[in-house]
Amino acid sequence: MENGKKLYLYPLWLRIWHGINALGILALIFSGISLHYSDRGILLLDFQSAVAVHNLAGVIVTVSYFLFVFGNILTKNGKYYRVKTKGLPNRLTKQIQYYISGMFKGEESPFPISEKRKFNPLQKYAYIFAMYLFLPILIVTGIALFFPEIIIEQVFQLSGIMLTAVIHGIIGFLTFVFLLVHLYVASMGKPPGKNYKSIITGWHT
């Protein structure tokens, strides 16, 4: 309760996008792992179901991605994602110091949440990477794998499909890592369930 006020930080459209996206990405991770290891018999889902789930969740996440992008173009939520490079290394260092030391000594957060600043600097750039780098790459390579005839056959000596699948797999893995860190950091509210409530009700208290 940084300034004792309730802040409405997550408008309805954003909460709807976030819920659809979270479930969709979870389904993509589960089915993606099954697709990747299908030849080794390590299956969370059998191959046919994994393909069906992955294709459906891929379409859902792709469509809902446009809700995120247009929502941020058309509403003031977009301003939280504006890159400001001036003094950035300094801000990131401060936040890292807080996470590895200050927090455990009970220090105040260096970038308390307010209407003007919804995210701390680390959080902001993690979201920018996930939303404006990882997801677009996953969507473009995913669509290419869906319509393999559009992929260039050979890139230098390498198979284009192979290269696309490798890039898709690596970025999928990084998105999984992002999600684990995201869930951990989101649990740092006091009490721990506080931030999870906020992304459902919209209110930060």
CB of residue 136 vs ligand HEM: minimum separation in angstroms? 10
Give residue 92's identity as a one-letter amino acid code: L
Nearer to ligand HEM, 143 or 151 (CB): 143
Nearer to ligand HEM, 158 or 183 (CB): 183
| Helix (H) or strand (E) segment spanning residue 204 | strand 203-204
For 169, counting Cβ atoms within 10 Å of its Cβ (0-12 exposed, 13-18 middle, 19+ buried), the class is middle
CB of residue 160 vs ligand HEM: minimum separation in angstroms? 13
CB of residue 108 vs ligand HEM: minimum separation in angstroms? 18
Nearer to ligand HEM, 26 or 88 (CB): 26
**Beta-carbon count within 10 A of 8 CB:** 11
CB of residue 11 vs ligand HEM: minimum separation in angstroms? 9
Length of the chain: 205
CB of residue 203 vs ligand HEM: minimum separation in angstroms? 11
Nearer to ligand HEM, 67 or 179 (CB): 179
Nearer to ligand HEM, 7 or 102 (CB): 7
For residues 114 and 3, the answer to whether their CB atoms sit within 8 Å is yes
Interacting residue ranges for ligand HEM, rule: CB under 6 A: 10, 14, 18, 21-22, 25, 28-29, 32, 35-36, 51, 54-55, 58, 61-62, 77, 80, 118, 123, 127, 130-131, 138-139, 142-143, 145-146, 165, 168-169, 172, 175-176, 179, 182-183, 186, 195-196, 198-199
Counting other chains too, the contacts that 193-200 makes at CB distance below 8 Å and 24 or more residues apart are 198/9, 198/10, 199/10, 199/15, 199/18, 200/15
| Helix (H) or strand (E) segment spanning residue 7 | strand 7-8
For residues 1 and 108, the answer to whether their CB atoms sit within 8 Å is no
